[in-house]
Structure 1
Amino acid sequence: MNTVAIGSAHWVYAFGVGAIVVTMLLRANVVVPAVLATALVVFAATGSAISAVSGVFMASFIAAKELFNIFLVIALMTALLNALKILKSDIRMVEPFRAVMKNGHSAFVILAFVTYLISLFFWPTPAVPLVAAVLLPAAIAAGLPPLVSAAVIAIAGQGMALSSDYIIGVAPGISAKAAGSGVSAALVGDRALVLSFVVGGIALLLLYAKQRQVFLKPSSTLLQAWQAVAESSVDQPPEKKGTFDKAEMARAVSYEQPFATDADIKNILKIRDQRLVFWSKSFAVLTPFCFLIVIAVMILPKYVKGMPDLKGGDAASLIGGAAALLMIFATWAASGSRHFFEDSANHITDGFVFAFKAMGSVLPIAGFFFVGAGDTAGPILGLASSVKAPHLLFELIQSAQHLIPQNDMLVSLGILLVGMITGIDGSGFAGLPLTGSLSGALAPVAHMNPATLAAVGQMGAVWTGGGTLVAWSSLIAVAGFARVHVMELVRVLVVPVITGLVVAALVAPLIWTQ
């Protein structure tokens, strides 16, 4: 028999969740509904208007405490990329792959591979402009049509890399925090990585099978025709931009023009100071080498007995620390001993500006869902540490347990659908607190590990809003760089991506029973 007492705070919380979902469906910013819903829930729970006002601040403050490591990693990785751009090491890291693009088929593979790797380490926002400037012209000259090239970049970068976010760990961190204190971000990340390969592999295979008949013979005239396309005719921003304007951020870090020929590459890499040439080449090798070591340290303990395993936030600390040290050394190489103190500080500042532009809106949204979690609700409600805080979402799910299907695949598909709905606003990350919270509450009902459900919800939210399925996401930037119409790009991506997502949601309960 159900013994959970559902009070006014539960109903107000449920209403707040519904209001946020509806706002996302309308492609509007969800910060205001999240803040108002937080105040109403705290008032309903405490009966105090003063607590309700204070709760608005405390909710964002608790979210900031829980998620600040995520902001710090983003800032340090962005600072490193800015330092590498001054040395032109970022271009040197990508440029060798141009020579391998002999035809449309090889260009398809190389474009996906490099986009995935660069996006995994630096996020798609700065990675896509780099790939578009250096590799996209070579792919088009090799016979890969611009529309297919754009689809490959979107699937590999804004789909596969961003949905797992395995290296930087933003998405798994938010999902795990929302799911509950007992859920490991590392476990969510591991399962999201596997599911991202399932979705991405299926999407790329279906895209290749459908589009390979339109691949062309390599020719310089293909590049000339592409360059003749006016960007303004295809790069029309939509009316509504969703929660995060990541397309504008991508343009902010874009290159002035694509490097169409090898001569363009050589020209941009011309550095008179031979000392800088040495350091430019050195960091083009040293940076990926260092991060390969970091990945090895993260992964090998799972398969090699005796190696110390990274716990909790150690992985994020290792990545952030490596990025910070590489940034300092790269800045010293570029600026010299007299200026690198100030320039390093400027890179850090620019990194934090980017981090808060990219993720700042998540804090009040996550704060609302933290009100519904027993682990974090206490300080928001103003309760003493000795008082047990209510777990509003879990108690709502428990009260409706008899209405929820016991089939784990149906629950997995349901979480996927919720994630896709939350991604409709074009952000990809705004819905992670909701999918994470629902995963923590539904997992006991479905007899599944909450990390599995959180990873499935993460797939739905990020693949949809991160830039593969909705035209008002950062997919606009990809379409603009490739000089194709964004709606044509969406039509090409819909069937491959949705097929991959459904398959991933169905196989997740089969792969991980617990």
Structure 2
Amino acid sequence: MEVNLTAAHWVYLAGILVILATMMLRKNIVVPAVLGTFLTAFVFSDSLVTGLASIFNASLVAAKELFNIFLIIALVTAMLGALRQMGADRLMVAPFRKVMRGGTSSFLVLAAVTYMISLFFWPTPAVPLIGAVLIPVAIRAGLSPMAVGMSIAICGQGMALSADYIIKVAPGLSATAAGVDPDVVADRALVMSLIVGLTALIITWLTQRRNMRAPSPELLTEWESRAEHENGRSTQADGDSAGGTPVPSGTLPGTGAARGSKVLVTAGANVGVSVAERVDTDDSSMKATVDHVFKSIRAARTFAVLVPLAYLAFIVYLLIGKFTDIVPDLKGGDAAAMVGGIAALILFAAAATNDKQGFFETTSEHLIDGLVFAFKAMGIVLPIAGFFFIGNGDFSAQILALPADTAGPTLLFDLVNAGQSHLPQNPFVTSFAILIIGMIAGLEGSGFSGLPLTGSLAGALGPAVGMDPATLAAIGQMGNIWSGGGTLVAWSSLIAVAGFARVSVLDLARKCFIPVCSGLVLMTIVSVLIF
């Protein structure tokens, strides 16, 4: 089919190339995306008004399509804020400290716990949680700081985030741009992420096991000394590394203080459960304070068990629905709504437990914090997605404000069709091209901003080479997130991992390069063969 390319096509193509070049220069691509949207609309319509309006319309259309993702992120983040307030977040991982007795066991436990927490809550809250509770234990057990950082980065920022199988932000972005079913992209991305992650973990263990040492308290002291210039003392060292049962600490009223004075009572600080009250030091006040302290600890322990069980039950429900007819099979939108609904109910229960009198206010505060975080984390995607949506016929009519019965231009598909004779009709070449484009897009450092690009290219190139666009979209998603999500790019969230592991972020990125790239190459070959 012959395609007549217009000036708008060439402007749109120039915009894509500029965005790719900007990514390679490690610059933010919002400005090129907005300018590309404006110029494409202006040249297509020959109207300055339409060009200017398209800047707003493109982000508005993207926001309509992606707001469900923002809302899920906000609800999950708000729930985690309420759990963190009572200390339940740390208690959820505390039991794993008991099995971290050596370098290899610590490596495996760090990998498993990081993966599970990141799969349900994203790596952003997982890294500080693991850093405060489990990293000191792993160091004391003989695992090297570099191996700690690599394990957390590969399993959290890489394997869990690239699949994003529970919250499904990434598959939703990729599938929307490619015009395919999000569930198909999510299923294939999960398999691909496991191939990359397990390959990278095996290579990491083989290369780092020679650095493992016999368990010793001196290892923890040596590691802690690296951060003395930051705060003058270790953080969560003694209590967390000991792995003992949390008990109330601090000075209770009536123990050494003059009668009638006021003292500070702190409970469960070594597991993140802190309750402070200033009380008069008489017997009734002391009893009330102690009751309040232990009630708070019990509540934290209850939620530490309740939250994992709730999401485990949800996973079981999804599996039953997927493989049987006992319950309905939830599709992408319904499953995502369930995640948000569970998070909202847990948020309400946790907020009410933390502050019964101010329940309504604290719940609203957590929700606001969640929305702020969601837009900080994902807001940059809107203008970028808007640019790629203007090349998609499903959205371009709305962006260009065309009449309701008028089909919008399919700029990207037209470009691909016009260039088919110059493109190799080979699934392997196309798959690796999408992978490389995704990795280049990841140089921006966010891990998500390139998904509209790889998704759009997958939707256009898939039929041309006889491949399912969902497979290509998942491959591009792997390249984008493994690169920019926090394993290969030092200016991404890998900085947080390196900070908690107390290693150089540049060294950590270099150490991750061979394991991760090996996994990506193997994943691409396997994906072409089996999907």
TM-score, scaled relative to structure 1: 0.92
Partner of 1:151: 150
Match of 1:406 in 2: 425
Question: Aligned residue for 1:111?
Answer: 110
Q: Give distance in 1, aligned partners of 2:213 and 2:3.
A: 64
1:224 to 197, 202, 221: 221
Aligned to 2:475: 456
Aligned match of 1:326: 346
TM-superposed CA distance for 1:305, in Å, is 3.3
Instruction: Kindly indicate whether the alpha-carbon contact (under 8 Å) linking 2:158 and 2:485 is maintained by their aligned counterparts in 1.
Output: yes
Which amino acid in structure 2 is aligned with residue 481 of structure 1? F
Give runs of aligned pairs for residues 268-283 of structure 1, distance below 5 A: 268=269, 269=273, 272=290, 273=292, 274-283=294-303
- Cα deviations across residues 425-479 of structure 1 (Å, max 9, x unaligned)? 2111111010000000001012111111110000000000000001111111111
**How many angstroms does 1:265 deviate by?**
5.8
Which of structures 1 and 2 has the larger relative contact order (alpha carbons within 8 angstroms, sep 6+)? 1
1:27 maps to what in 2?
Answer: 26
Q: Deviations over 1:291-348 (max 9, x none)?
A: 1111122232221234311134101100000000110011111111x21111111100
1:406 CA displacement: 1.5
Shift of 1:232: 6.5
Greater mean deviation of Cα atoms: 65-74 or 168-177: 168-177
Q: Secondary structure at the match of 2:448?
A: coil
**2:320 aligned with 1:300, yes or no?**
yes
Equivalent position of 2:69 in the other structure: 70
Rounded to whole Å, the distance in 1 between the matches of 2:23 and 2:225 is: 38
* 2:195 pairs with 1:198: yes
Q: Which residue of 2 aligns with 1:137?
A: 136
Q: 2:335 matched to which residue of 1?
A: 315
CA contact (8 A) 2:106 2:138 kept: yes
Structure 2 SS opposite 1:190: helix
- When structure 1 is superposed on structure 2, of 271-280 and 209-218 the one drifting more is 271-280
2:492 aligned with 1:473, yes or no?
Answer: yes
Maintained 8 Å contact 1:467/1:475:
yes
Amino acid at match of 1:311: K
1:208 aligned residue: 205
Q: How many residues align?
A: 487
Q: Any idea what SS the aligned residue of 2:92 has?
A: helix
Deviations 1:134-188 (A, max 9, x none): 00000000000011100000000000010011111111111111112xx111111
- Contact 1:231/1:480, CA 8 A, preserved across alignment: no
1:6-21 → structure 2 map (5 Å cutoff)? 6-21=5-20
Q: Deviations over 1:57-110 (max 9, x none)?
A: 000000000000000000000000001011111111001101100100100000
CA contact (8 A) 1:408 1:447 kept: yes
Q: 1:261, CA displacement in angstroms?
A: 3.8
SS in 1 for 2:386: helix
Letter in 2 for 1:223: L
Q: Secondary structure at the match of 1:102?
A: coil
1:250 corresponds in structure 2 to none
1:392 matched to which residue of 2? 411
CA distance in 2, matches of 1:312, 1:199: 24
CA separation in 2, counterparts of 1:312 and 1:488? Answer: 38
User: Would you say the 8 A contact 2:171–2:182 is kept in 1?
Assistant: yes
Give the residue type in structure 2 aligned to 1:297. Y
For 1:6 and 1:297, the matched residues in 2 are separated by 49
Matched AA of 1:208: W
1:482 aligns with 2:501: yes
Q: Equivalent residue for 1:185?
A: 182
Alignment correspondent of 2:389: 370
Q: CA deviation at 1:262?
A: 3.6
Q: CA deviation at 1:490?
A: 1.4
Alpha-carbon distance in structure 2 between the residues aligned to 1:63 and 1:436: 14
Q: Is the 8 A contact 1:231 1:483 kept in 2?
A: no
Equivalent residue number for residue 287 of structure 2: none
Q: What residue identity is the alignment partner of 1:281?
A: R
Decide which of 456, 461, 471 is 1:437's aligned counterpart: 456
Could you say which residue in structure 1 is the equivalent of 2:162?
163
Determine helix, strand or coil for the equivalent of 2:226.
coil
Give distance in 1, aligned partners of 2:112 and 2:331: 29
Structure 2: which amino acid aligns with 1:314?
D
Relative distance call for 1:263 and 1:227 in structure 2 (3 A) is farther
Change (3 A) 1:118 1:132: same
Give CA deviations for 1:226-264 in whole Å, capped at 9, x if unaligned.
00013769xxxxxxxxxxxxxxxxxxxxx9756444469
Contact 2:87 2:274 in 1 (8 A): no
SS at 2:214 equivalent: coil
Letter in structure 2 aligned against 1:30: I
Contact 1:101 1:138 in 2 (8 A): yes
% same residue: 52
Give structure 1 stretches of 5+ with no counterpart.
234-254
- Partners of 1:16 and 1:37 within 8 A in 2: yes
